[in-house]
Structure 1
Amino acid sequence: MFKRPFIVLLSLVLSGCANLSLSNMFNTYSDQYQQTRIALNSNNLEAAQLSINLNTPSDTNYQLDLVEKGKIAQLAQNYKQSLEYFNLAIEKQKSEQLKAQIQISKSGEQIGALLSNDNALAYNLPLHEQVLVHTYQAINYLSDKNNEAAMVEIRQAHIVQSQLLQQQNLDLSARALSDEQNFGVDWHSVNQAYPKMDNVIGSKLNGVQNGFMLVLSALMYESAGQIDDALIDLKAALVLYPNNPYLRTEVERLSARQTGGKASYNSNTHGRLVILYEQDLITPKDELMLRLPIYTSSGDMRFYSVALPTYQYITPTRPLSVQFKDKMLQGSEIAKFNAQAAANLKDNISLLITRQLGRLIAKEQVRRTMAKEGGDVGNVIAALYNLASERADTRSWLSLPNNAQIVSSIEPIGTANLALLIDGHQHPVSIEIKPNSTLLLLVKSNGQMVQNNIYYL
């Protein structure tokens, strides 16, 4: 009795979700990533790498899988493999941008999303994640002692960063447009019920710029003799974190160098030690079930439940302590990686809700058809499918750190030992300060993993 409507529903869903696995349809990405997160916290990088299945380029999560595998390969210090994954992600992003420009139809994806959830849409890296792809690719090249290629990546990161700054006005226009197409929803009620996420984002600029990229860029620009560019980036980072003592000192030092003033130290007898510290893992998105009041064409108000992504908590920053000679240095924050992710979500939430409302209408039409042609059984099948497939799109780059910190000091040339104090444990590091150079110590810690790499700039 219900064979025909059931087949119609199934064929429509499968035709639009050909590249969407059942796990993606009925489970959130944040839930699926738990196995990878456990492996990363246990410092089992091989298991973390194997937990991410890299499918074909047509898979909806292909770009996301590439950057996850690229970052995990970098954590495993397999820089060649990381470089290859990031290059594939960059090429895929360029390909998607070209498709958008020539307006290749994605009607199959749209149908799949309309009858399932937003996970049926291909995940294209948002601009703030594209900035970080180029930033971490620069680190891969630094590890290969290819500073010229690293500088190319930093310049690419700045190009994407400029696009992100320009996008803000476009996002405002998009939200205004979606508000007009409100399907009878009470947007005031939505704004009251949906979390503000202001505690995650912080200042507006924190939602647009990443201080980790700016500081790394400044270090590389200075090493290349581009003092003006280095100072611009340091000043931008200082605007994000005006109370950061290291950034303030660096801005003062470079400003004096730019104007030909007296150098703050003799580079023949002293060198600069800069520690950039990546701590923990970024907080994943949560799934929030929200009951929305929607008015029908006859003016009746009905409540519908929709699944939306959100950020409900963040992991607090724990300052790094560095014992060096007779002094103790404290890390000072330069980036919260969740800030940009939450800001991007906030910019797009009206569009997400608009798509959800369109999905509610489509699913309700299918349910009515199945109830009409299949009776109670058809109605139950449609209702169960609608309930099971109502999952929020919680996809984002989850192998990123939670925060980044900086420690900076001027030290006499020669060998020395320092101790990183991380979560109550000491991690000794031997370094050599060289004349006329900056020693960059890049430290990463997460759970049981603590690693460090030394670069000379």
Structure 2
Amino acid sequence: MKRLVMIMLVSLSVSGCAFNSVLISYPSQIAPIKAALNRPTTSPIYHQLDDKINGADKLLYAQEAGRVAQIGGDFSTSKGYYDKAIDAYQAFDEQATLSISDTGAKASSLLINDNVIPYRGPGFERIMLHQYQALNYLFSGDSEAALVEVRRSNQLQSSEQARYQKSMQGVQSMANGTIDAEINKLGQAAGSTTSSFLNAYSYYTTGLLYELFGEANDAFIDYRKAAQITPNNPYLQQDLVRLAKQLSMPQADDFVRRWGDANPASAGQGQVVLLVERDFVPEKQSFTVPFSIHGNWQTASLATYYPDRSPVRPAQINGLGRRLTAAPLANIDALAITALKEALPAALFRQAARIYAKSEMARRVRSDSKKANNQFDAAALAIQIFNVVTEQPDRRSWLTLPKQAQIARDYVDAGRYAIQLDQGQAQTIDVQSGRTTLIWIIDTGNYTRFYSIII
């Protein structure tokens, strides 16, 4: 019994600062932050995450804090938090051998749950991290740094895919009927999204910045990549028509036949580009997987997403002379669902090892109790309680990301406009002749924030 208690205590102590997510679900920790973002506030709520950035999940909390500061318009503070997250990703990349703490975390995960493993994050989160850092630099007036970040975002679209495929080579043979059914269910929930590493929103942001800073060829390439992922977005189609004609591309005539000609700006007009982000990505839930070990049925908990049948409304932009209806560009929730689907086989591999380890520990405790002729098997009871309490799925993910990204684009006469999202409160923006006004609208569900810059 003493040995058992020591094993439990050591396992929990090794988890260190990750203990918050071991027994307390991550979504419940972030819920107050999201609630605060859904109402007007002048207080820097991102400071609520500062203490957690020093723990094992520092990458995740740094991403959240950076996003919270960014939503609030504090782009300078957001850059600092995002830099910490970028450094954490690079530390993972540069880690040639396992450190003692990582070894301990993975070992203790065999007796506790995956939440003790330091958060690495799916590839699409890392891609969006650099995309959002680029927007931080852009709205802070540093165009060169913004271009550096979008190039990094672009490169990660392929490198993260390669890293994932390499990591999956050892676990793709794992088979389980429940897991197969869950993967199929997640695939249906993700819709047409087949890879979490191909993000039309990131490609479009990259292309937009290239175009705004005079790199039309690079902009065309990234707009086309975005269109391959989201082929029915009319604004993206018109971007391709306009640039194909500007660059005398051989595809120009074909694009015009398929999507119609692009209307040029009239004298005295400026361009308005709107990036609209709506709602929050969904939270991970849990589901049960049955296993049989030593002839006894065991159960395990893994993360999943419940079906969400509530569609995201296309944004209606009023106040620019005519109503603009934004078009969906990327479903970030589908990227998150697809990332989980891609990660499930590896999670099953770890879960099976954990169940076996717990089962072996319970079997040995029962055997020792019989040898000692214990009438009351306190150790066996204790380990059963320990297993039930610690059997928690890994529900960590970047929860302040938007559910969907939409875009709209138009030419309007130079002047000052009071624009509205749907029927919300009006916000004043300026349009200058021959310039582009980029408007970033962040709608968290019950509250909307507008940020604009003239380029």
Instruction: Answer yes or no: same fold by TM over 0.5.
Output: yes
For residue 44 of structure 1, report the CA deviation from its aligned partner. 4.5
SS in 2 for 1:176: coil
> Residue 444 of structure 1 corresponds to which residue in structure 2?
442
**Letter of the aligned partner of 1:161 in structure 2?**
Q
**Letter of the aligned partner of 2:204 in structure 1?**
V
> Residue 394 of structure 1 corresponds to which residue in structure 2?
395
Q: For 1:263 and 1:357, locate their aligned partners in 2 and report how far apart those are by CA, in whole Å.
A: 56
Farther-moved stretch of structure 1 (312-321 vs 106-115): 312-321
Answering whether residue 46 of structure 2 is matched by residue 49 of structure 1, we say yes
For residue 147 of structure 1, report the CA deviation from its aligned partner. 0.8
1:49-68 equivalences under 5 Å are 49-55=46-52, 57=54, 59-68=55-64
**TM-score of the aligned structures, taking structure 1 as reference length:** 0.89
How much is the aligned-residue C-alpha RMSD, in angstroms?
2.4
> Residue 279 of structure 1 corresponds to which residue in structure 2?
278
Post-superposition CA distance 1:155-187 (Å, at most 9, x none): 11111112134346435524425x2xxxxxx62
> Residue 384 of structure 1 corresponds to which residue in structure 2?
385
**Letter of the aligned partner of 1:196 in structure 2?**
K
Q: For 1:83 and 1:145, locate their aligned partners in 2 and report how far apart those are by CA, in whole Å.
A: 13
**Structure 1 residues 48, 410: closer, same or farther in 2, change over 3 A?**
same
Match of residue 363, structure 1, among 338, 358, 365: 358
> Residue 265 of structure 1 corresponds to which residue in structure 2?
264
Match of residue 69, structure 1, among 54, 65, 71: 65
Q: For 2:43 and 2:188, locate their aligned partners in 1 and report how far apart those are by CA, in whole Å.
A: 35
**TM-score of the aligned structures, taking structure 2 as reference length:** 0.89
> Residue 198 of structure 2 corresponds to which residue in structure 1?
209
> Residue 182 of structure 1 corresponds to which residue in structure 2?
none
> Which consecutive residues of structure 2, in runs of 5 or more, have no partner in the other structure?
253-260
For residue 48 of structure 1, report the CA deviation from its aligned partner. 4.4
For residue 205 of structure 1, report the CA deviation from its aligned partner. 4.7
> Residue 207 of structure 2 corresponds to which residue in structure 1?
218
> Residue 327 of structure 2 corresponds to which residue in structure 1?
332
**Letter of the aligned partner of 2:306 in structure 1?**
Q
Answering whether residue 404 of structure 2 is matched by residue 410 of structure 1, we say no
**Letter of the aligned partner of 1:310 in structure 2?**
T
> Residue 256 of structure 2 corresponds to which residue in structure 1?
none
Answering whether residue 231 of structure 2 is matched by residue 242 of structure 1, we say yes
**Letter of the aligned partner of 1:367 in structure 2?**
A
**Structure 1 residues 369, 56: closer, same or farther in 2, change over 3 A?**
farther
For residue 361 of structure 1, report the CA deviation from its aligned partner. 1.1
> Residue 37 of structure 1 corresponds to which residue in structure 2?
34
SS in 1 for 2:345: helix
> Which consecutive residues of structure 1, in runs of 5 or more, have no partner in the other structure?
180-185
Post-superposition CA distance 1:170-222 (Å, at most 9, x none): 35524425x2xxxxxx6234323566212332224563222222222111101
SS in 2 for 1:197: helix
> Residue 26 of structure 1 corresponds to which residue in structure 2?
23
Aligned residues: 437
Whether contact under 8 Å (2:178, 2:289) holds in the other structure is no
For residue 439 of structure 1, report the CA deviation from its aligned partner. 1.1
1:124-163 equivalences under 5 Å are 124-163=120-159
Whether contact under 8 Å (1:413, 1:432) holds in the other structure is yes
Farther-moved stretch of structure 1 (398-407 vs 233-242): 233-242
Q: For 1:208 and 1:24, locate their aligned partners in 2 and report how far apart those are by CA, in whole Å.
A: 26
SS in 2 for 1:290: strand
For residue 42 of structure 1, report the CA deviation from its aligned partner. 3.3
Q: For 1:281 and 1:332, locate their aligned partners in 2 and report how far apart those are by CA, in whole Å.
A: 18
> Residue 299 of structure 2 corresponds to which residue in structure 1?
305
1:74-85 equivalences under 5 Å are 74-85=70-81
Post-superposition CA distance 1:310-343 (Å, at most 9, x none): 1113352111101235422211101111222222
SS in 1 for 2:301: strand
For residue 26 of structure 1, report the CA deviation from its aligned partner. 1.6
Indicate the percent of aligned positions where both proteins have the same amino acid. Answer: 24
Q: For 2:198 and 2:42, locate their aligned partners in 1 and report how far apart those are by CA, in whole Å.
A: 29
Q: For 1:426 and 1:72, locate their aligned partners in 2 and report how far apart those are by CA, in whole Å.
A: 22
SS in 2 for 1:213: helix
Whether contact under 8 Å (2:293, 2:356) holds in the other structure is no
Answering whether residue 253 of structure 2 is matched by residue 254 of structure 1, we say no
Whether contact under 8 Å (1:200, 1:338) holds in the other structure is no
Q: For 2:227 and 2:133, locate their aligned partners in 1 and report how far apart those are by CA, in whole Å.
A: 24
